[in-house]
């Protein structure tokens, strides 16, 4: 068996599983968009600059994992809305922690100064 590159976590490590779920191209942006509420496919694509093929694939993966719910709206022409499930909304704490870390440790884009420990 190959050595795991994530500091000693075994393959069923919850950190590895979460990182695997969120590491797909555009996935973090999709989840972040849906944290504000339900959205239609084109809204998500427009907000995040994702092409339809990539977006469709990521939404299917997130739906299969139980993170996103897909709802067909009975209008003509039919529209589809996406929203986060309870499982998906539970990812909010990760985004809050990333924001806190970024505010503390990241310099604004274009800045030459590194943030110092406070």
In the block, residue with structure tokens 């039919």: 78
Whether the pTM exceeds 0.85: the reply is no
60 phi/psi in degrees, rounded to 5: -65, -45
Q: Which domains does the chain have, with CATH numbers?
A: 18-105 (1.10.10.10)
Taking the chain (118 residues) in consecutive chunks of 10 residues, what is each chunk's mean pLDDT? 53 84 92 96 95 96 97 85 97 93 87 61
Cβ neighbours of residue 9 under 8 Å, at least 6 residues apart? 15, 16
Q: What gap in Å lies between CA 115 and CA 107, rounded to an integer? A: 6
């Amino acid at each position: 068996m190959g050595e795991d590159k994530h500091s000693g976590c075994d393959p069923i490590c919850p950190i590895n599983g979460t990182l695997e779920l969120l590491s797909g191209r555009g996935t973090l942006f999709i989840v972040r968009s849906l944290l504000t509420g339900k959205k239609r496919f084109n809204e998500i694509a427009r907000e995040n600059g994702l092409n339809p093929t990539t977006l469709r694939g990521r939404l299917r993966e997130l739906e299969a994992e139980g993170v996103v719910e897909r709802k067909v709206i009975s209008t003509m022409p039919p529209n589809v809305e996406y929203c986060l499930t309870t499982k998906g909304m539970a990812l909010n704490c990760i985004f809050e922690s990333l924001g806190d870390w970024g505010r503390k440790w990241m310099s604004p884009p274009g800045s030459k100064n590194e943030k110092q420990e406070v």
